[in-house]
Amino acid sequence: MEKIMQYLSLKNIFWYFLAYGLTTFAVMKFMPKEKRQKILTFTIQGSFLDKASALISLVSRNIIMVFSLFIPFYANIYLIITGNVVYIIGLVLATVAMWQFSRVKTDEAITWGLYKISRNPMQVMGFIMGIGVGIIANNLWLWILTVINIISSYPMFFMQEKYCIEKYGQIYTEYMKKTPRILFIKGKK
């Protein structure tokens, strides 16, 4: 039991996931209900492979969070500093993206702010936070799970885009032509 309690300490990376969860909760607390629902809406339009990838992404994310309870910070101060900088950049920009998303009417596509540099800034910043935590922990299994999560999340972008094209039409199609799917990676329509 003592060994388990050692693992569940303040030195574990779980606190980074908790910080993101609390930040998300705080931002969403001040949003109207319909805007919270818009952020939390998960589109299920897509092929079997898209849906399977989304499930793998969800499961891998949950495994990472549970696994993080048992992963301590890596002892190298340079990795801790670098990882914290990467994590904080991701956290701040994810929060900004969430706030910007909440500012548009529920029947409008968001095409301004961070959404001008990525069609999926909340998810991309989530990936950046995961990379930051991976640097801090310097744990092979965490890196493997993070890479699985990032790769399996990518097909969800296609499902979201299909949904947005159906909902917002030509406005969203034009937006897709000008804005990268992920930072600096345009992708095809």
Residue ranges per structural domain of the chain: 49-178
* pTM exceeding the 0.95 threshold for the entire prediction: no
At which residue do the structure tokens 């968001």 appear?
A: 110
At which residue do the structure tokens 């991701």 appear?
A: 90
CA-nearest of 185, 156, 168 to 56 is 156
Neighbouring-strand partners of residue 185: 182
Residues 130 and 149: beta-carbon distance below 8 Å = yes
- Cα dihedral sign for 23, 25, 28, 30? negative
One digit per residue, the tens of pLDDT, for the chain of length 189 reads 555 555 555 678 889 999 999 999 898 888 888 777 777 666 666 778 878 888 898 899 999 988 888 888 777 899 999 999 999 999 999 999 999 988 888 888 999 999 999 999 999 999 999 999 999 999 999 999 999 999 998 888 888 888 889 889 999 999 999 999 987 666 555
